[in-house]
Each structure stands twice: as C-alpha cells, then as structure tokens.
Amino acid sequence: MKPTPREWGPSGGGGIPEEMLAFLKAHLGDQRPAGAVVLGSGLGPLLDHWNPEPIVDTAQIPGYPRSGVPGHAGKVAVASWGGTCGLVFQGRVHFYEGYSRSQVTLAVRLAAALGARWVLLTNASGSVDPLVAPGTIVVVDDHFRLFIGGRASRGAAPGTRLTGSPYHPGRSEEAFAMLGREGLRVQRGILFGGLGPSYETAAEVEMIRRAGATVACMSTVIEAEEAARAGLEVVGISMVTNLATGLAQGRLDHEEVIAAARQIAPAFARAIDRLVRGWAGDQRPG
C-alpha cells in the first residue's frame, strides 16, 4: 500500500519552514508540480535540456542547505514538461558534509509539500559487480545501507513506517523500458548507500557485493525512504561511472566520476526527458 502524505510539524508541509515554502510557491505561481527530479554528481547539465525558468540558487532560498561538493551546483528550477511543470533539484547535500537527515531529505520533502506525485532520484555510482561496466544505467529495485552513527536516523519524521522497498514498481518498470528504447545499457539492481566521503575499501566492496548489491553510492537511500513516507512514488536510477575499489585499476577520483557521467549524459537526458514528460501528463489514480 502506498504511504499517504502527512504533515510532520507545526509549520506543515513536512516540518518545512513556512518562509521556504512561500518562496518556492511564489516561483511556481498557480502551478502545481507534477513531479520532481534530483540530479546527482555530474548530472546537473541535464537541467539545461528543459530550458527551465526560473532557476534559483539555493543560497537565495531561506534556510536551504548549500553543497560544497563538485558536480552539485545547488540550484532549484521549475521545468516545463508539456502542459505542466516539475521541480528539478540540481545537486544535493550529503551526510558527509555534516548535514542532518532533515537537511539531506529536504528536497524530497519540499516536492511532497508542494504537491508533487512522484520523484526521480539520480546518482553517479560505482559498480561492485565486475560484470556491470561503467556506462551502465541501473534502475533501482531495492537498497540497503550500513550507516554507522546517529545522524542517519536522528530527525526521521514521525508517522508512516515503511514496509518493503520504497521504489515504485510500475514507474521503475517504465523507466527501465524507456532507457532501453534509447539504446542505453540498462539493468535492474540493488543500491548500497554509504555515508562517505571515502570510497569503499576493497574489503567493503567484497562484503556488500556478497550481500547482494549491484552498485554503491553516498546518497539517495535515505531520500528514497523519506520520499516514500511522504507519499511520493519513488524511482531511483544509478549511472555507473566507475568500477569500485578492488575491481578497477588505480585510485578512484571524484573528478573522473563527474567526467564519466557527462559522457553518458546526452543519451541519458533524452530518455529522462521523454520519461518525465510522459509521467507529467499521465492521469493514473493517486
């Protein structure tokens, strides 16, 4: 059963400050976003595909956290998808930057509070399976995490308890089909989420591979859980930019991850554009 949206604080809208909601509502005008897209490392240029207006730097949004990580520009845009609109978050903030759970999940909670029905979470990931090569797109069926420490759990919104995977099976299948039609190398898989900022060691990679992971990242999983609890239909897509430690030659480098993401981005952007335009116009029951 899909979780239903709820209000988590006296300010309403997931405990989000009223001034933040008011700021974004002013940019939306009378429009209600059909959905939202969160663009991960190196995927920010996909925003240009939609010629969005307006584009707001997160520094202008009262109380919004700023990312200092390369490849995460820190912008929020209203994109036009046919006869409706959507929110696009260019970049995200991470636990390893010192942010709390409520800050890490702010984008998806904002999307839910502003009326979105679905969210597409993207990330750049490392493959922990030697058969899943860089350039592969993995549609996430499920995830697991080994967050040691309190920040990943402190601040979780009270209310709906998730049972099972937070990822929406119908929309995930549609994403898989669309990516394949664009000629991309695509498969289904399991996402491992770590805290970062360090890449996994070779021993950790072997452990999480044996546990069933296909790819690993430093984001997404807590966002997916909180989004599903807010009533959003969640799709996760991982762009494999590198083989994980122990499977690749040499040391991993974040700049190389960003460069690899940009190489795949044009075809990926076409597929995502067609996908979200279709979702924006659909009339399926909520």
Residue 233's CATH number: 3.40.50.1580
Q: What is the pLDDT of residues 68-120, one digit of tens each?
A: 766 657 889 899 888 889 999 987 888 888 888 899 999 999 999 999 999 99
CA distance 241 to 126: 6
- Identify whether 216 is part of a domain: yes
Residue 164 region, left (φ>0) first, then alpha (ψ -120 to 50), else beta?
Answer: left
* Residue 232 pLDDT level (bands cut at 50, 70, 90): very high
Are 216 and 196 contacting, i.e. CB atoms less than 8 angstroms apart?
no
Collapsed DSSP state (helix, strand, coil) of residue 151: coil
**pTM for the predicted model, two decimal places:** 0.88
Q: Nearest Cα to 168, choosing from 282, 71, 79?
A: 282
- Whose tokens are 């995930």? That residue is 172
DSSP assigned state of 4: P
Are 73 and 90 contacting, i.e. CB atoms less than 8 angstroms apart?
yes
DSSP assigned state of 200: P
- Identify whether 9 is part of a domain: no
For the chain, what percent of residues have pLDDT higher than 70? 83
Q: Where are the beta strands (DSSP E) in the chain?
A: 35-39, 55-57, 75-81, 84-90, 118-127, 137-145, 186-193, 215-217, 233-243
Mean pLDDT of 206-210: 95
CA distance 149 to 158: 19
Q: What is the pLDDT of residues 150-182, one digit of tens each?
A: 555 565 655 566 678 999 999 999 999 999 998
- Identify whether 11 is part of a domain: no
- Identify whether 273 is part of a domain: yes
- pLDDT at position 12 is 41
Partner residues linked to 186 by β-bridges: 137
CA distance 64 to 56: 11
- Identify whether 166 is part of a domain: yes
How is residue 170 written in tokens? 């119908």
- Say if residue 252's pLDDT is above 70: no
Cα–chain-centroid distance for residue 60? 22
- Identify whether 138 is part of a domain: yes
What are residue 108's phi and psi, to 5 degrees?
-70, -35
Are 257 and 101 contacting, i.e. CB atoms less than 8 angstroms apart?
no
- pLDDT at position 283 is 59
- pLDDT at position 109 is 95
CA distance 83 to 67: 32
- Identify whether 148 is part of a domain: yes
Q: What domain range includes position 168? A: 18-281
Q: Count of domains in the chain?
A: 1
CA distance 184 to 270: 11
Collapsed DSSP state (helix, strand, coil) of residue 125: strand
CA distance 16 to 80: 25
How is residue 122 written in tokens? 């993207």
**CA quadruple 133, 71, 120, 105: dihedral positive or negative?**
positive
- Identify whether 286 is part of a domain: no
